[in-house]
């Protein structure tokens, strides 16, 4: 600290804190002393109110928080999630494990928080608190999957394949978890983690699409199917199976009706052609004269054709 024998009464204070700020006095005897005023600059947050951040599930977000003076560093700081009763946001908290990162170790004045792989539960207000005194809040909005269309009916027949639709309204969103079940037997067909039966497969041509393909349909496949996301929302699809024999019978009836119609049309065309030719045959040609010769029994008509030589 100091060496009295050499007359050096200097005082060295290490690792200063804001609480060290104040007036210091050095006394040599009861009558002589010298006063020193010590000012300790601590971390003053650059912003206390910030614009809300809007992200989608699965994204990452950087929540900024820093000291105005880059040469300062806080003695203590912490991030909390206000809506979760002030739960501390750190890698030691189970819900944030392996998803959060801070930068103060390399840049002491930078107290920003990076959260990866966002979920809908991450939405809320995040508070950056320095030295248990000053704080800054940031509102985080996480857009998740909202299913489109409440009820759909699909029809198909045995032996064929069918695709049951289910998708998020916003194509930029993707559910954290999803599954398809049959309502009648409460049987899980497929989910984001497994496909149980080879006839049931999900089609994820886009992250927001959760289509279900059922191959080689049987009569027992008809019924109500439920598409659920994140254990919160669900949409119903009713699958109706039509007997292929009935369809074939209807097709055969339509075929017979078409044949009868085609035959009638051909008969009408043939009759019209015969009538036209008959009318043309009875019409006298130009340059001919009709000569009538009386006869005792009946009338005889002779057509004389003149030709110029």
- The per-residue pLDDT for range 112-127, each reduced to its tens digit, is 999 999 999 999 999 9
- Contacts of residue 17, Cβ cutoff 8 Å, sequence gap at least 6: 40, 42, 75
**Predicted confidence (pLDDT) at residue 181 exceeds the cutoff of 60:** yes
**Predicted confidence (pLDDT) at residue 226 exceeds the cutoff of 70:** yes
Which of the following CATH numbers is that of domain 151-242: 1.10.443.10, 3.90.1150.10, 2.60.40.10, 3.40.640.10?
Answer: 2.60.40.10
Residue 296 is predicted with a pLDDT of 47
pLDDT digits (tens, 9 = 90+) for 262-293: 888 888 888 888 877 777 776 655 555 544 44
Task: Quickly count: other Cβ atoms within 10 Å of residue 18's Cβ.
Answer: 15
Higher pLDDT, 158 or 33: 158
Question: Long-range contacts made by residues 168-171, C-beta under 8 angstroms, separation at least 24?
Answer: 168/208, 168/210, 168/229, 170/56, 170/143, 170/145, 170/146, 170/208, 171/206, 171/208
Q: Whole-angstrom Cα distance, residue 164 to residue 200? A: 11
> Range with the lowest mean pLDDT among 53-62, 66-75, 94-103, 277-286?
277-286
Residue 244 is predicted with a pLDDT of 55
> Range with the lowest mean pLDDT among 15-19, 216-220, 266-270?
15-19
For the chain, residues classed under CATH 2.60.40.10 are 53-143, 151-242
Q: Whole-angstrom Cα distance, residue 11 to residue 49? A: 41
**Predicted confidence (pLDDT) at residue 304 exceeds the cutoff of 50:** no
**Predicted confidence (pLDDT) at residue 248 exceeds the cutoff of 60:** no
User: Which residue, 228, 229, 241, is CA-closest to 154?
Assistant: 241
pLDDT digits (tens, 9 = 90+) for 183-194: 888 888 999 887
Higher pLDDT, 289 or 3: 3
Higher pLDDT, 82 or 196: 82
Which of the following CATH numbers is that of domain 53-143: 2.40.110.10, 2.60.40.10, 3.40.50.720, 3.30.750.210?
Answer: 2.60.40.10
- Mean pLDDT of the region 40-64: 89
């Amino acid at each position: 600290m100091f060496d009295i024998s050499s007359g050096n009464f200097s005082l060295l204070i290490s690792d200063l804190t804001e609480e060290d700020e104040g007036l210091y006095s050095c006394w040599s005897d009861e009558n002589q002393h010298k006063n020193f005023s010590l000012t300790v600059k601590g971390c003053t947050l650059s912003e206390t109110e910030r614009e809300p951040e809007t992200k989608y599930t699965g994204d990452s977000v950087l929540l900024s928080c820093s000291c105005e003076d880059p040469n300062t560093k806080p003695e203590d700081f912490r991030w909390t999630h206000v809506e979760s009763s002030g739960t501390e946001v750190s890698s030691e908290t189970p819900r944030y494990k392996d998803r959060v990162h801070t930068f103060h170790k390399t840049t002491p004045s930078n107290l920003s928080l990076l959260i990866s792989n966002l979920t809908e539960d991450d939405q809320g207000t995040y508070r950056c608190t320095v030295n248990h005194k000053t704080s800054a809040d940031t509102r985080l909005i996480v857009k998740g999957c909202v299913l489109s269309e409440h009820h759909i009916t699909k029809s198909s027949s045995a032996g064929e394949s069918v695709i049951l639709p289910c998708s998020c309204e916003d194509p930029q969103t993707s559910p954290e978890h999803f599954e398809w079940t049959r309502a009648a037997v409460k049987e899980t067909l497929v989910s984001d983690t497994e496909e149980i039966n080879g006839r049931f497969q999900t089609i994820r041509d886009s992250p927001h699409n959760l289509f279900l393909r059922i191959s080689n349909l049987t009569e027992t496949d008809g019924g109500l199917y439920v598409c659920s996301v994140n254990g919160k929302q669900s949409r119903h699809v009713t699958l109706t199976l039509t007997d292929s024999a009935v369809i074939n019978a209807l097709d055969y009836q339509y075929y017979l009706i078409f044949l009868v119609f085609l035959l009638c049309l051909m008969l009408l065309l043939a009759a019209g052609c015969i009538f036209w030719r008959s009318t043309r045959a009875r019409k006298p040609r130009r340059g001919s004269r009709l000569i009538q010769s009386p006869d005792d029994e009946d009338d005889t008509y002779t057509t004389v054709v003149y030709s110029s030589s």
